[in-house]
Amino acid sequence: MSSYNHFASGAITVLAIAAGGFAYGSGDYDDRADRPAWSERTGAVTAAVDNSRYLELCGSCHFPYQPGLLPALSWERIMSAGQKHFGASVELNSTERSLITNYLLNNAAGRVDDALANRIMVAQRGAVPASITGSRLFLDEHDKIAPAMVKDNPGVRSLSECGACHTGAKAGDFSERQLVIPGYGRREGD
């Protein structure tokens, strides 16, 4: 069972390391000498959600997406779309809206030094994704997955439900070693 692309992630990690110096070389990024080098970290981990209001308000209908999964501009657009939320209607009062927006913007990809968030930014090459499943890194990583494993799989149904396959998703760990597709198990043959 090896129908999805194993080489894409490695290639993108290398690109992220190579491009890091200029893509984010805006002074403050390079000052963080206390952080481990990118090459020493896994490229599939982003910081877990540490905001209980966010979990409550943004995790009731779907997986509570980590802020590092999208650039700030994407979050800004999603949060200012008001009632038009991907075909659903999300009602927040103004206090909740600004609390959530601030949390997302302060921790967005491009604003935090976080392995997966950095990879997402590099892959976008400046384009602003409208959704996580529409982002370039996501599309690259998931384009080889058969519909039988997703839409037609009662344990998954939608690629937007990250936690259905990535057992470490809530903790921000999307690495392959934590991947179990319901009904298919772990990927074999590596």
Footprint of ligand HEC (CB under 6 A): 4, 6, 9, 43-44, 57-58, 60-62, 65, 69, 78, 85-88, 90, 100, 116, 131-133, 141-142, 145, 149-150, 156, 158-162, 164-166, 174-176, 179, 181
- CA–CA distance, 110 with 51 (Å, rounded to integer): 19
Backbone φ and ψ for 10, nearest 5 degrees, come out as: -60, -45
Cβ at position 127, least distance to ligand HEC in Å: 15
Q: Which one, 2 or 25, has the nearer CB to ligand HEC? A: 2
Cβ at position 21, least distance to ligand HEC in Å: 21
Q: Which one, 25 or 144, has the nearer CB to ligand HEC? A: 144
Cβ at position 176, least distance to ligand HEC in Å: 4
Q: Which one, 72 or 156, has the nearer CB to ligand HEC? A: 156
Cβ at position 174, least distance to ligand HEC in Å: 4
Q: 149 and 181 in contact (C-beta within 8 Å)?
A: yes
Q: 80 and 131 in contact (C-beta within 8 Å)?
A: no
Q: Which one, 85 or 136, has the nearer CB to ligand HEC? A: 85
Q: In the chain, what are the helix, strand and coil shares in percent, each to the nearest 5?
A: 45, 5, 50
- CA–CA distance, 51 with 171 (Å, rounded to integer): 13
Q: 148 and 160 in contact (C-beta within 8 Å)?
A: no
